[in-house]
Amino acid sequence: MKSFFKTTFACVLGVFIAGILLFWLFIGSVISLATFSTTPSYTSKENTILILKLEGELTERAKDDPLNILNSGEYIPKAGLDEILKAIQIAKWDNNITGIYLDISNFTGGYASIEEIRNALSDFKKSGKFIVAYADMYTQREYYLATAADWVFMNTIGMLDFRGLSTTPTFYKNTLDKIGVEMQVFRVGTYKSAVEPYITTQMSEANRKQTASYLNSIWETIISDIAEERQIEKHILNDYADSLVSLQEPQWVQKTKLVDSLLYRPEVESFLTQLCGVENINDINWASPTDIVSTAKKIKSKDRIAIVYAVGSIDGISSNGIISDKLVRTLKEVQDDESVKGVVLRVNSPGGSAFGSEQIWHAVEQLKRTKPVAVSMGDYAASGGYYLSCGANRIFANPATLTGSIGIFGLVPNAQKLLSEKIGLSFDEVKTNKYGAFPTIERPMTNDEKQKMQTYINRGYDLFIKRCAQGRKMSVDQIKNIAEGRVWSGKDALKIGLIDELGDMQKATEWIAKKCDITDYEVIEYPKKKSFYEELMNELRNGVSQSFMRLFLGNEYQYKKILDQIKQIDPIQAQMENIELE
């Protein structure tokens, strides 16, 4: 028996050690592949085209995707909005770059972000250089981006989706009923629709009204931009949108001048050789945004402008969003840095924790005492995203930005049926005082608890209103008239005073420079981007943890995941509903 245990222990230990060795061998292989797959340092050459290979989801900042190596077998850095905009700006002044080629495939991004790319492309065209766009099939947002080009080409048997905007919210009430979870909801604001999916099965009239308003506003921006570039009147574009363009013949798409020509990819490449004045496609040098940005001269100056990114939900479940205490520390670091003369806070957030939002607001207020702060809004800067923005010296947004949503709600789940009937748990409690066990998900709230909770939510809403009134230099009543949780487009937000100016991050940076009276300055970004190794370890940490939990819990893992998510959610939220524009 003793020998048996020794043998068993040795086997287990051997497997464990082998597993560790294989794990680190895997890590080393991935890092080595990334190292050897990375192309040599880029050098600017004649007859170069900046190729914007737009595919997948557009992120706010460029980041490494280590595990993509396993799928593609090569290391391909993924460009973010920041890198794309920088590359276009550099390419405008690089004499070796003859033009830009938009190679679009399965690309998705917010309309405000796409607006920023279009604006950069329009500025690029002032150099007299060409822009060519091509796709086998265009989605609506891809087509919107492509229309900034001089020539828009589509595959001979391609398809163009152009049908107007819509949004289709998902309602969870029936699903929650089935798994035994009741969401006890507390809110302030007629238009605060983020709670609707948990308590009803369809949109309220107020929500339908606000949704129609911002959809029409953004659509007006889109067709106005397309009309200007394609020289097609807006009412005709609307007629096309109502004709189900995606099912029309490609020849019809060309005949209506929505695209310039129907070409196969080799024919597009031949067209590019003509534009570059070369005989063969191999005579063209191709440069990615990463290549172009690598050539940028590092400006060293005693004067700096800091760009601080606040991207994602505030103190949400994902670690990739805004973690309020980390952002507060970053803002404090920027405040204490005497070389930083001004700050651009880049906000792309639908909101989140009301508590976290207040902490960030306070940090911005402290920062504003020592140096000017401008906010640049991305696709979203709503609810908590607007909360942390409202105190800035100046607020910039794009016409298609979704902002406002000044309101607060509370969600306290009652998981009694899930825990008792589905999983089979039972609970008991001992307490010294009346509310010693509050809040709890094991039972429904009492009427007394609900009343006190609603009072707490009301108090949070009043504070939110006060912060907005203070920041926007408006009265409390003025803010209340445009609050109530209502979502506004950037264009409409300008009309009612929620923002100061329509413009992108470049415009916000220029405003800060002018405010600080500096012309020669260095731009530094916070937080620092993660290295390839840090991204890899983060991906593996999350993946390994989930795999072990699935292995241990089996079919019960789904319930464990639901419970973890419920417990991690801050019960008091300043967050906009999840809006997907289609």
At residue 330's C-alpha, the angle toward residues 325 and 333, to 5°, is 125
Instruction: Tell how strand 487-489 and strand 261-262 pair up.
Output: unpaired
Q: Dihedral sign, CA of 343, 349, 350, 353?
A: negative
Q: Give 153's contacts (C-beta < 8 A, 6+ positions apart).
A: 132, 133, 134, 259, 260, 261, 262, 263, 268, 271
User: d(Cα 217, Cα 501) in Å, to the nearest integer?
Assistant: 16
Tell me which of 92, 192, 341, 491 is the catalytic residue: 192
Q: Measured between alpha carbons, how far is residue 511 from residues 252, 323, 373 in Å?
A: 45, 28, 10
Known catalytic residue at 224: no
Tell me which of 353, 383, 405, 489 is the catalytic residue: 383
Instruction: Tell how strand 487-489 and strand 402-404 pair up.
Output: antiparallel
Residue 246 CB neighbours (<10 A): 15
Tokens 């229309």 locate to 147
Known catalytic residue at 192: yes
Q: Which of 209, 181, 213 is nearest to 197 (CA)?
A: 181
Residue 180 CB neighbours (<10 A): 17
Q: Dihedral sign, CA of 482, 483, 484, 486?
A: positive
Buried b (16+ CB within 10 A) or exposed e, 454-470: eeebeebbeebbebbbe
Strands of the sheet with 408-414, listed across from one edge: 182-188, 408-414, 572-575, 351-353
Q: Give 390's contacts (C-beta < 8 A, 6+ positions apart).
A: 361, 467, 468, 470, 471, 472
Active-site residue numbers?
192, 383
